[in-house]
Structure 1
Amino acid sequence: MTSTEHGAAPTTLRPENLHEARDAVLDTPGSLGITGAGTAADWAGRLRDVDAVLDLSGLHGIIAHNPGDMTVSVHAGTPLRDLQAELAEHGQHVSLDAARIADGATVGGLVATADAGPSALVHGGMRDLVIGTTTLLADGTVARSGGHVIKNVAGYDLAKLMHGSYGTLGALVEVVLRLHPTPKATGTVALACPLAEAAGHASRVLESPLEPTALEWISGERSTSEQGRLLVRIESTEAALPARMERVAALLGAGAETTSDDVWDVHVSLVRGSGDGAVLRIGARPSRLPGLLAGLPCTTVTAGLGTGVATVTVPGTAVAEAHEAVHAVGGTSVLRRRPAGLDAPAWGPPPSALAVLNAVKAQFDPDGRFGPGRFDPWEIP
């Protein structure tokens, strides 16, 4: 967030290195919001009024790249698209394809919001790609994961805790990432089919030796029929790709056909949402996801049938109902786009681990300085 809901905008602090960031936290009393590129400013709970906003977009660039070890250390304010461009020169990349990367989303912001894309089927999300972090805590402590002793919080895996923390535990300033080789060739097979049928196809693909890197069902795109499409992405060598795609098409059966990789741009647009609807990110067991989605009043859907992660657009009046339905099957949900004027809960019912979350918050930020309101309506300070 870059402004408060009421009154004058807070002071914006834009440090350009770790030392300046630490000084900004120590020299600024009161509450702080943390931002980067601002591409997820309206995700989760609304930031309450804060005294200052810590803008970390000035901390950017590669710190160290070790091509042999397939790792890179980078300032957290670095847009991932810029990092990918530099890594491409070495035939490497960060295996993450979240929709807002093209909008300039930063490495730190992608970690803090637990964002991911279709390739999480194979490579996981940022939680799986991050192997080290440097985090600035509310008392000015600079905490490095993997050996840095921190008074009163020793034993925590900081890299994992920061994933999905929405800037409430600390400010990520440096991130060490695991890299993968850039695919030599990619292709996509598509099949027009309803969700229930897509779930059966997805099970067969996942049980086969075809090793798809993405398996998503999408619905709501204007250019195709209302029944939706199953998309299967394959990465391979140029020589082996055609045969693997033929095997995928044969497994899916009549109607399956090779399509342009541009179809993933459609996927991105559906994740972003449009119009007057609210966008929810949902996580549930893959086996329960189709039934869950069938019962929601969705106008658009992207459903990871192997990951159990979906992004849906629903009417603003149905947000609370959708949260309840997700909670009922043991899933999680968070609001990722709210139409102007919408007053709806950003999160579903509190999880059973809420007491643990509150205890962690108390350890890292006992005065509740960072990100107040981001987990409303839960009672995390």
Structure 2
Amino acid sequence: MPIDDLWYLKKRDPQTKKPLPSKRHGRGKRWRVRYADADGKDRERLFDLKRDAEAFDVLCRSGAAPEVRVKREEARLTFGEYAQRWRESRESGWATETRRRIPQNLRKHLLPVFGAKAIRSINLTDVMGWLGRLLDDGTPKSSVSLYFGLFKTIMNAAVIDKVIPDNPCNGVKLAQVLRGLSRAPKWVPTGDQVLKLAEVVPRRFRAAIWLGAGQGLRLGEVLGMESGSRCADYDHGELHVVQQLRHSPEHFGGFYLATPKSGSSGTVDLDAVVAEELAAHITEVGPVEFELPDITTGERLTRPVAILFTSSRGKLLTDTYWSELWADWREAAGWPKEGTFHSLRHFFATTLMSNGVEPQEVQKALRHANLRITLETYVHWLPKKDRPRGLVGDLLRRAEGTRRALPADQDRS
């Protein structure tokens, strides 16, 4: 829930280093707090004073603000409790086989995973993690589809009943999941294999390996790295991924700078070790300056660019030439043929994921367009959580006690 200063831009004056005034400077309320209300919808509220905005932000984060407060009984309602209500309200119209199958699938496949969770807390990451585990365990695809369909139906009913604001299942493309999560990498190097590769590549390219493994950059983004604060801000510990090097004799007569793949420009944290490698590269190898067409702003301009990674003769690198170099390095490092530069990006992502970094943060680091892409690619590396013992039996025992307490005319079992 960030607090925004509407009177000033985040961009700074290159001379004074002070924030530039916005078009709204001096007009209207200055401070904006963005938050999600009790129904999960994005809202904002404006304030004259920063201290008032900060106080409201704290209330929103703690859940004390009326705007975000959820009724206590709604917040505590578990999936298991709602699923039981859902089943009891519908089973009178089910065929005999359906009456047998749905409770069985609930008991064996949904309640052990989601039964004790507050239904409002179940998110896309939980759903994708569950599907990934089913596939890892060798569950038939037809069964995965059946269990997911049941879960999605119950969650849809919860949306209609206004128990939850939206259905996390809607963000899942089941066809891609059942194809075995087609984005999943074919091979991911270990830490030792990454270090072995860094040892065998020439000194002038070692920092490129670190940018791939330590920052998750794509090859074109690495080859487009230039010296200066446009790409790396050492003082603030930020890496600005704003361009990639492309080659097209037909359109630009050779090399040019374009925006990263799928418009995935962004600013990410600059790893301290990667920063050291970059600084050493600039000192020991040094950049080479070229006059290059730059279309990152949507308009073509030509400007001097101090490119960090070039050939031993100081020439820019094409994908073809890089592939020739890579084949030798890969063999020297003992990597399989599936090992490409992009494998370093996979190493970066899976290392974050398997060490408990939130998938949303991994998405930001990779600059993926949405969380679904991150989860479909790396869901197998989500940390596995041990299931508490006795969870289902305890849940059903409590449900049994509730049912026995009902008047006879309300007990439809």
> Structure 1 length normalisation: TM-score?
0.24
Higher relative contact order (CA 8 A, sep 6+): 1
Q: Which has the larger radius of gyration?
A: 2
The structure richer in helix per residue is: 2
The structure richer in strand per residue is: 1
